[in-house]
Amino acid sequence: MVAVTSRMPRSREGQWLVLAGAAAAWVGLYVLNEHVWDWILFGAAGLNPADRITETIHFFLYDVVKITLLLTGIIFVVTVLRSYMSVERTRALLGGKRTGVGNAMAAGLGVITPFCSCSAVPAFIGFVAAGIPVGITMSFLIASPMVNEIAIGMLLSLFGWQVTAVYIAAGLVIAIVAGLIIGRIGAERWVEPFVFETRLGGQIVDPAAGLTFADRIQMGSEEAQSILRRIWPYLIVGIGLGALIHGWVPTDFFTTYAGPGSTFGVLVAVGIGVPLYSNAAGILPMVQALYEKGLPMGTLLAFMMAVVALSLPEMILLRRVLKPPLLVIFAGIVGTGIVAIGYLFNALLA
């Protein structure tokens, strides 16, 4: 890990200067990316751009650099922004809010609060101990993975703000509605008893308090490195598949088999997406390529949400606090919501 804090300039001006320099370098690399590969493959190596294999390789190399740059930039900025929020602050904000308003706030906060899924259990217990109803807590727990900040960044750069807005709205709506339904059915009986019996002791320590600007930059830098280190195999596979689709799948292939009017397209997409465990970054390259080949945006969004919102590791973790009936209900509502969003947007955007 690069220890950034010890090397950051002391003064605020110096820190901003370093950030500006890094941003400039980032923009430079991003803009030059395609030209560099054009020059290396078509210029220096003299390969033929019209050749399919060359095109696939070119796309792969270009996308690896582009996505790595995007991820680094997005993760850094998001982590720094999120360092101002914490589960502890969210908990304080949600205390005493009634159903409805509470669900909407919980979903919104779920998107912006930094939340490691390993903290799902302590967070759940903490929310319950603060008197926050199970339904509102679930809205938070659903929104958090579903409206993924990396996905937002990548959708923004790949597809523009309209698609991104749809994604965010869809995730929030599903989180809110699911939380409302769960709140209505007396879900407390399906929460493991120890959750209600655990006392939250001591002084609550807020990770967001007392951070210096240099601290936040350090966290941003470390998070970017850590995530990239962890997911680079998924990235290579995802980008590789994306490149293959880009180079070898005929245009409009999917329009024939899974176009906007297709009956089962969304269901199949969600069916494939649920068992897949990946993070948003790994599948976005593939999503872009699939879209190029005619897969409708509604189906794609549904696929993406299915992959990130419902995963086996998350279910296993939640099993510690939620009994099977509630887990099934949770998965069922979220899954149904995702399918509904898929069909809805295929119909709207067609």
Partner 1 sequence: MIIKVLGTGCANCKNLERVTREALSDLGIDARIEKVEDYGQIMGYGVMSTPGLVVDERVVLSGRVPSVEQVRDLLAAAR
Contacts of 146 (CB under 8 A, 6+ apart): 171, 174, 175, 305, 308, 309, 334
| Member of 118, 272, 347, 348 binding partner 1 (CB under 8 A) | 118
Among 98, 131, 205, 251, which residue sits at the site for partner 1 (rule: CB under 8 A)?
205
- Applying the rule CB under 8 A, the residues between 221 and 240 that interact with partner 1 are 222, 230
CB of 251 to partner 1, least distance (A): 41
| Distance (Å, whole) CA 308 – CA 311 | 7
Residue 130 DSSP SS3: coil
Q: Which of positions 73-112 make contact with partner 1 (CB under 8 A)? A: 86-88, 91
Residue 325: C-alpha distances to residues 98, 140, 193, 306 (Å): 25, 19, 14, 20
46 vs 202, which CB is nearer to partner 1? Answer: 202
170 by Cβ neighbours in 10 Å (0-12 / 13-18 / 19+) ranks as: buried
Using CB under 8 A, which of 102, 108, 110, 126 touches partner 1? 126
Please say whether the dihedral angle defined by the alpha carbons of residues 35, 246, 70 and 227, taken in this order, is positive or negative. Answer: negative
203 scored as a contact of partner 1 (CB under 8 A): yes
Q: Is 324 helix (H, G, I), strand (E, B) or coil?
A: helix
- What CA–CA distance (Å, rounded) separates 216 from 5? 9
Task: Evaluate whether 301 touches 342 at the Cβ level (below 8 Å).
Answer: yes
Does residue 312 belong to the site contacting partner 1 (CB under 8 A)? no
- Contacting range for partner 1; rule: CB under 8 A; set: 131-139, 176-184, 199-207, 264-272: 199-207
Considering only 10, 116, 161, 251, the residue that binds partner 1 (CB under 8 A) is 116
In angstroms, the CA 81 to CA 70 distance is 16
The least distance separating partner 1 from the CB of residue 153, rounded to whole angstroms, comes to 21
Q: How far is the CB of 201 from partner 1 (least distance, A)?
A: 4
Report how many residues bind partner 1 under the rule CB under 8 A.
34
List of residues contacting partner 1 (CB under 8 A): 1, 3, 5-6, 86-88, 91, 114, 116, 118-119, 121-123, 125-126, 129, 194, 198-205, 207-208, 218-219, 222, 230, 320
